[in-house]
Amino acid sequence: MYWSLILLLGLLLQTGKSAVSEEGQLLNLQFHGDFSSDHLDELITFMFKSSENIPVLHYQIQNPSENELVEYLIETRLMSDFYGELLYAVQEPEDAIVLQPDETVRFSNLDIINGKLPDGERDLKFDFILSSSARNILSSLNAGALVSDDNYTVEVELFKITDGVSKERIATESISFETNLPESVLTITDDGEALSRISRTDLRFETPLFQWSGLEQLMYRLIVVKKSETETTEQLLNHQFQQPHSSENITNTSRNVYLDVITTGNSFRYPEELAEVLEQGEVYAWQVRANVKTTHGEKEIESDIWDFTTERVDTDKLTELLTILLGTDKVEQLLREGLELDKIELDGRVYTASEAIPILQEMVQKIQTNRAVIGE
């Protein structure tokens, strides 16, 4: 299942009241040792279905009487703090569990599904009602939803049949666990190195590569806008995110929208065929948003708004300066091979092509006034 790894992040906190009853240890309830929020669907269906044949819940009922045969009835409720009751299971009097004096019986939900106590002789039957909320949770889990923050409680009441007809509650026990969806799963964060790379994009060589960190299997909507003097970047982005996405019109430069795409994965390169849409020396902002399915419904998550600037390079000036420094033949050879100056490194510092122009200009001036020469 897609979310299995993520679900592992869910913090399972099991808390259970000790099997306190009015008459001592009549009833005991325990989650199976391996149970975790990975198996939330198994818990919801624990009374009637087990896809992995692993027990979820263990019951223990004891007849403390030394000489009295007792008929017991069990009622079980599964509740969520968020949704309320998810499952209610009850035994009719004719399905009562009869325990001999001083007898203790242990069974799991797998025995309930099988309809027999572990001795294989006595029936173990329940009627149950699954709420619509429980069905919704199961449906969303099947669709790959993340398990939201919640607290699930299994509450069991033990009744004794008295006078052959009426039932008397003699013990109650509950056991619960919390599910936790880490906030980090619901955030789209920056990839620092990638942000740095894109921060000054030189369109002569490549289109911007947008990269972020977040769940890979989500469908992300990426929108790029050019900064405007009349509207804030937030306004531009919010406006576009509110529009239905159209794969036919992934740009709308009249609204300052330079890209609007839906993509999976954590990166997207600006289409080469649209490269001429972007302008040199402009500042663009971009953001990604996604809808995450959780057991509590869909949740929209969004990244910060990040900027990048496209380099403005005076290629004619650059060629003129390089011709002086490297010679005509060398520069012509480089241009023939499609090579253009990307950056320079001087005294350990790296400069982009546009930053390099004044440095090269100064160097040429020094050479022309005999204050510097180029060695071999």
Q: List interacting residues with another protein (CB under 8 A).
A: 204-206, 322, 325-326, 330, 334, 337-347, 363, 366, 369-376
**Rg of the chain over CA atoms, in angstroms?**
34
Please state whether beta strands 127-130 and 189-190 pair in parallel, antiparallel, or not at all (unpaired).
Answer: unpaired
Q: Which is nearer to another protein, 1 or 346 (CB)?
A: 346
Q: Which is nearer to another protein, 250 or 341 (CB)?
A: 341
* Residue 84 beta carbon to another protein: minimum distance, rounded to whole angstroms: 59
User: What are the residues whose beta carbons fall under 8 Å from the beta carbon of 176, sequence distance 6 or more?
Assistant: 14, 15, 16, 151, 152, 153, 154
* Residue 185 beta carbon to another protein: minimum distance, rounded to whole angstroms: 36
- Reduce the DSSP state of residue 235 to 3 states and report it: helix
* Residue 337 beta carbon to another protein: minimum distance, rounded to whole angstroms: 7
Q: Retrieve residue 316's tokens.
A: 């004619």
Q: What are phi and psi of 44, to 5 degrees?
A: -65, -35
User: What are the residues whose beta carbons fall under 8 Å from the beta carbon of 142, sequence distance 6 or more?
Assistant: 41
Q: What are phi and psi of 224, to 5 degrees?
A: -115, 130
- Reduce the DSSP state of residue 362 to 3 states and report it: helix
**What residues pair up with 57 in beta bridges, in sequence order?**
31
* Residue 312 beta carbon to another protein: minimum distance, rounded to whole angstroms: 17
* Residue 265 beta carbon to another protein: minimum distance, rounded to whole angstroms: 21
Q: Which is nearer to another protein, 247 or 336 (CB)?
A: 336
* Residue 269 beta carbon to another protein: minimum distance, rounded to whole angstroms: 13
Q: Which is nearer to another protein, 312 or 366 (CB)?
A: 366
Q: Which is nearer to another protein, 204 or 255 (CB)?
A: 204
Quote the distance between the C-alpha of residue 88 and its chain's center. Answer: 31
* Residue 204 beta carbon to another protein: minimum distance, rounded to whole angstroms: 7
Q: What are phi and psi of 272, to 5 degrees?
A: -55, -40
Q: Which is nearer to another protein, 66 or 337 (CB)?
A: 337
Q: Which is nearer to another protein, 173 or 202 (CB)?
A: 202
Distance CA 104, CA 118 (A): 12
Q: Retrieve residue 188's tokens.
A: 């789209």
Tell me 43's DSSP state. Answer: H
